[in-house]
Structure 1
Amino acid sequence: MPKVLIADEMSPKAAEIFRARGVEVDEITGLSKDELAKIIGNYDGLAVRSATKATAAIIEAATNLKVIGRAGIGVDNIDIPAASSKGIVVMNTPFGNSITTAEHAIALMFALARQLPEADASTQAGKWEKNRFMGVELTAKTLGLIGAGNIGSIVADRALGLKMKVIAFDPFLTPERAEQMGVTKVELDELLAQADFITLHTPLTDSTRNILSAAKLMKTKPGVRIINCARGGLIDEDALKAGLDSGHIGGAALDVFKEEPAKASPLFGTANFISTPHLGASTDEAQVNVAIQVAEQMSDFLLTGGVTNALNVPSLSAEEAPRIRPYMALAERLGALIGQLEGTTITAVKVEVEGAAAALNIKPITAAVLTGLMRPHSDTVNMVNAPYLARERNIDIAEVRHDRETDYHTLLRVTVTTPAGDRSVAGTLFGNAKPRLTELFGITVEADLAGRMLYIVNEDKPGFIGRLGTTLGEAGVNIGTFHLGRRDAGAEAVLLLSVDGEIPDPLLWSICRLPGVKIAKALKFG
């Protein structure tokens, strides 16, 4: 039974779902990093919110960990490269608190527009400063979205309902999607010059850090009001204070800060500034939603291999997993075959799918190819870290779908680039379930790839098969299956034999010395 640790406070629904699905779960919150490091090796899964830090040191201590689930969107508290290199899936729940966060951004926009916090404080202090708090309408104002993904699109929808004009900067926003959302796609400088209100909805990455820098803030429209419910670090907070003090920025509302908890920000006490303590996801509905989602996603992965909302491995739904798993088995075996034959000289990999395979999610298939390819040279490689290791080794990856008729109902081809040129293998599924090799380096050959095998390239001349059989028989090695292919009569031939036992090195050297043998290698699958 898989075992999961819930290390942060979250809805009891999470533990209920784990137990109902057959996953053992411990709820131990408030652990120090040393306490967590001592026990994390006992768990297959770690469920966190934002308090627990899954650092490289914690991940190193997690000897059995297979998945880290973040109940929420941001994963700043998880060392994803460290998890990837160790083969641990990292997943989040990007949709559970989307509406809540979007509504908080809208609420802060209203609060800025009508100076609600100051007006409330003044009124409760016994003042009646009706003429002091002159707000602005949202109707007909221009809202600039920095980030138009899931949350940004919800904000846009709400803003359009308020009769605002919405413009958006997002490198991944297509013209078709912008039209569907009812927004105008613009470049960042254009957004800064036009927007009356700016709201940020983008993750914190190297490219988005300080996306509103001092220089960018100076390009904003005078009197602009800025809202950030995304991540701290997107705005230069010192420059934001300077803009508020000068009056160039008409107001700002931050739910997130570069350093959290923010207890001594220079922005505190600044006129026209509103702050909340990272409340974007803080509604009863959102807390329940993300807890349910993280438990369901982690259970799917641990019990069925389904991968949803993963940040370092291709997604594979629990419903999709049974259908695609035979293709992944074929892909891993083709990768293992070519990896054992070509060693570490591979500089590029191309994965091609034809027939029925062309309609499938190709990303998990590619990850399986890379897993098989590198497993002969690394005991710790798996579906998660294989793409990461390939990038580390500067192996170029290409994926191709072919919509064409083939000799097989479905076909998977793997081509690698080596200093000696391109080398290709191909395979299919018999009965939509059983992996079978169909082509090896341009030679047609049908073979199972399982257990221990012997690969031989030899001159196609009479008597060779008899000599090989005699050599194996004298060594006490039984042949299970025998697969032969050749380019032309009398030319180069390829043999793939499954054998019942290990091929010791002395026997392999004896085979290499047989007349006509060009290459002989022992292979292992599974």
Structure 2
Amino acid sequence: MTKPRVLISDKMDPNAERLLREGGCDVDVITGETPEQLIARIGDYDGLAIRSSTKVTKEIIDAAKNLKVIGRAGIGVDNVDIPYASAKGVVVMNTPFGNSITTAEHAIAMMFALARQIPEANAQTQQGLWPKNGFMGIEVTGKTLGLIGAGNIGSIVASRALGLRMKVVAFDPFLSPERAVELGIEKVELDDLLARADFITLHTPLTDQTRNILSRENLAKTKKGVRIVNCARGGLIDEAALKDALDSGQVAGAALDVFQTEPAKESPLFGTPGFICTPHLGASTNEAQVNVALQVAEQIADFLVNGGVTNALNMPSLSAEEAPKLKPYMALAQRLGSLVGQLTTGSLARISIHTEGAAAELNAKPIVAAVLAGFLRTQSDTVNMVNAPFLAKERGLEVREVKTEKAGDYHTLIRVSVKTDSGERSVAGTLFSNSEPRLVELFGIKVEAELDGPMMYIVNEDAPGFIGRIGTLLGENAINIGTFNLGRREAGGEAVLLLSVDEPVPAAVVEKARALPGVKRVMALGF
């Protein structure tokens, strides 16, 4: 039997090559090639192991006639064209947890650097100034650390902070009270965290919900003299507003490892007193680079030799017999999960997945995993159908599965319900022609809509003239409407409008729509 061939195209720990060979693969390590050289070479390989240097484009995937799996040693996969790889049947894997400890430690190091002004003191001391009286630091002991995001990395930071005798409060809609108790931290709302925290550190992905979570408005709500650390993602903080807050003294210090634009050749923050930064070093330790290299090697070998799937970003755990029948259901489930995830506000306690009719006769695990992957993707950029159930459990999210084999209004139906501190709401969808996903109910209102591409969600008072006003607004902003889906509970009551548009709706247009008469809620959605 011919062994699968794997190409390692980026520099990584040599033990990765060893593990691939021990796992039953033939391996070549050829790094530093141009895209043209890689295109000429890749056709002979079943697997490709990369870090961040290799850009896996459409052209490379087209040339990779035998390629079955791409393994990224690390979290970020923006150097891989995942949609095109999926279309070509190539599995894309990453190693989402290999960098957790080192990133958490970097955040703690940045916090200490702020507390004791170490970079500035070092620079002046090396200039021969001996500024002993010019730097008065603060202790972290007894201070309150505010975590924005208490997932894998955030929970590690919490444990380290508790060891330093700090008090830890956390804002995370997916953190259950039970999980907070287990971690020894206090779950709070964002405004409460901003008002109480002496230090704030961010540990969330960059999504529509978290973008500029430390906005100018929220920075103004912080405790005067707060110190802020971001080793997560650029774009979580309004950088111009942060500079103004540093200049005014509202923020005593800020430490960034990530920037909205990278590499950050210039920034309004550069040179600002109280500001320190590093060039995205969160994952840059010897141990982390070894860990991710070993993990990706094990995952690739297991997939190519044994068919095992771990941390795949575009493939669920499925048997060959189940896959064709489950594929459209999983597409529907993931879109329903994404929809309810984008629309849900408040502290989340439970998510329920109810299959009805033909859907209830299928293997529920891939459907549940698809719902959770879609739902959690708004909160984590490392989630996939394989690790979504684990992440949900880690966050203390109660997941319920319900089956009703008897069909109701539709021959097959998937309903996703979430319970938050503001009540329980649900969405439901079916398959047209057994293959085409459709939304048929949204928070108790009957609708019919495809969930695909950029969309706009509006709740408004059912009154004459509204459709014309929203159409005029979008037209004035050169936004073309693809489909127009309406639903209402009763005439003159609350109505829901789902618009598919040709391009994402800018935040400024969302604000204008929110100001229209009769509008109760507006959100830009994406699928």
**Contact 1:140-1:165 within 8 A present in 2 as well:** yes
Q: Distance in 1 between matches of 2:117 and 2:29?
A: 42
**Contact 1:351-1:366 within 8 A present in 2 as well:** no
Correspondent of 2:196 among 186, 194, 203:
194
The amino acid across from 1:352 in the alignment is A
1:128 counterpart residue number: 130
**Contact 1:213-1:236 within 8 A present in 2 as well:** yes
2:151 counterpart residue number: 149
Correspondent of 1:116 among 115, 118, 142:
118
**Contact 1:353-1:400 within 8 A present in 2 as well:** no
Secondary structure class of the residue paired with 2:266: coil
Q: Distance in 1 between matches of 2:370 and 2:223?
A: 47
- How far the C-alpha of 1:420 sits from its partner, in A, is 9.0
**Contact 2:224-2:251 within 8 A present in 1 as well:** yes
2:272 counterpart residue number: 270
Matches within 5 A, 1:12-23: 12-23=14-25
Secondary structure class of the residue paired with 1:122: helix
Q: Would the alpha carbon gap of residues 181 and 353 (structure 1) be closer, same or farther in structure 2, given more than 3 Å must change? A: farther
Q: Distance in 1 between matches of 2:297 and 2:180?
A: 33
1:351 counterpart residue number: 359
Consecutive unaligned residues of structure 1, counting only runs of 5 or more, are 317-323, 339-347, 368-382, 385-398, 405-413, 423-526
Task: Give CA-to-partner distance per residue, 1:287-325, whole Å, 9 cap, x none.
Answer: 1111100100111111112111222223x4xxxxxxx84
**Contact 2:39-2:64 within 8 A present in 1 as well:** yes
Q: Distance in 1 between matches of 2:167 and 2:43?
A: 52
2:76 counterpart residue number: 74
TM-score, L = length of structure 2: 0.61
Q: Distance in 1 between matches of 2:29 and 2:179?
A: 42
1:25 counterpart residue number: 27
1:211 counterpart residue number: 213
1:230 counterpart residue number: 232
Q: Distance in 2 between matches of 1:209 and 1:59?
A: 32
1:506 counterpart residue number: none
1:442 counterpart residue number: none
Secondary structure class of the residue paired with 2:85: helix
Correspondent of 2:174 among 172, 175, 178:
172
Task: Give CA-to-partner distance per residue, 1:313-367, whole Å, 9 cap, x none.
Answer: 23x4xxxxxxx84xx52x347669x9xxxxxxxxx9853369xx78xx4459989
Secondary structure class of the residue paired with 2:255: strand
1:293 counterpart residue number: 295
**Contact 1:229-1:255 within 8 A present in 2 as well:** yes
Consecutive unaligned residues of structure 2, counting only runs of 5 or more, are 330-355, 372-383, 386-399, 406-410, 414-429, 436-527
- How far the C-alpha of 1:168 sits from its partner, in A, is 1.3
**Contact 1:352-1:400 within 8 A present in 2 as well:** no
Q: Distance in 1 between matches of 2:113 and 2:169?
A: 21
Correspondent of 2:49 among 24, 29, 47:
47
**Contact 1:210-1:235 within 8 A present in 2 as well:** yes
Alignment coverage as a number of residue pairs: 361
Q: Would the alpha carbon gap of residues 216 and 8 (structure 1) be closer, same or farther in structure 2, given more than 3 Å must change? A: farther
**Contact 1:353-1:401 within 8 A present in 2 as well:** no
Secondary structure class of the residue paired with 2:48: strand
2:249 counterpart residue number: 247
**Contact 1:351-1:400 within 8 A present in 2 as well:** no
- How far the C-alpha of 1:76 sits from its partner, in A, is 2.9
Task: Give CA-to-partner distance per residue, 1:96-149, whole Å, 9 cap, x none.
Answer: 221111111111101100101111112222122222111111112111111111
Q: Report whether the alignment pairs 1:94 with 2:109.
A: no
Larger Rg: 1
Q: Would the alpha carbon gap of residues 421 and 298 (structure 1) be closer, same or farther in structure 2, given more than 3 Å must change? A: closer
Q: Distance in 1 between matches of 2:56 and 2:313?
A: 15
Q: Would the alpha carbon gap of residues 143 and 334 (structure 1) be closer, same or farther in structure 2, given more than 3 Å must change? A: closer
- How far the C-alpha of 1:274 sits from its partner, in A, is 1.4
- How far the C-alpha of 1:419 sits from its partner, in A, is 6.6
**Contact 1:108-1:253 within 8 A present in 2 as well:** yes
Runs (4 or more) in structure 1 with deviation over 6 Å come to 364-367, 418-422
**Contact 2:199-2:227 within 8 A present in 1 as well:** yes
Q: Distance in 2 between matches of 1:203 and 1:235?
A: 12
Secondary structure class of the residue paired with 2:315: coil
- How far the C-alpha of 1:73 sits from its partner, in A, is 1.9
Q: Distance in 2 between matches of 1:239 and 1:58?
A: 41
Correspondent of 2:9 among 7, 11, 18:
7
Q: Distance in 2 between matches of 1:21 and 1:260?
A: 37
Q: Would the alpha carbon gap of residues 171 and 332 (structure 1) be closer, same or farther in structure 2, given more than 3 Å must change? A: same
Task: Give CA-to-partner distance per residue, 1:28-84, whole Å, 9 cap, x none.
Answer: 223334443443343322222223233445444444332222211222333333333
Q: Would the alpha carbon gap of residues 120 and 420 (structure 1) be closer, same or farther in structure 2, given more than 3 Å must change? A: closer
2:419 counterpart residue number: none
Matches within 5 A, 1:112-511: 112-314=114-316, 316=317, 325=319, 329=321, 331-332=322-323, 350-352=358-360, 361-363=365-367, 415=412
Q: Would the alpha carbon gap of residues 27 and 219 (structure 1) be closer, same or farther in structure 2, given more than 3 Å must change? A: farther
- How far the C-alpha of 1:195 sits from its partner, in A, is 1.6
Q: Distance in 2 between matches of 1:58 and 1:220?
A: 48
- How far the C-alpha of 1:270 sits from its partner, in A, is 1.9
Q: Distance in 2 between matches of 1:180 and 1:115?
A: 33
Q: Would the alpha carbon gap of residues 147 and 364 (structure 1) be closer, same or farther in structure 2, given more than 3 Å must change? A: closer
Task: Give CA-to-partner distance per residue, 1:465-506, whole Å, 9 cap, x none.
Answer: xxxxxxxxxxxxxxxxxxxxxxxxxxxxxxxxxxxxxxxxxx
Secondary structure class of the residue paired with 1:166: strand
**Contact 1:74-1:203 within 8 A present in 2 as well:** no
The amino acid across from 2:206 in the alignment is L
Secondary structure class of the residue paired with 1:351: helix
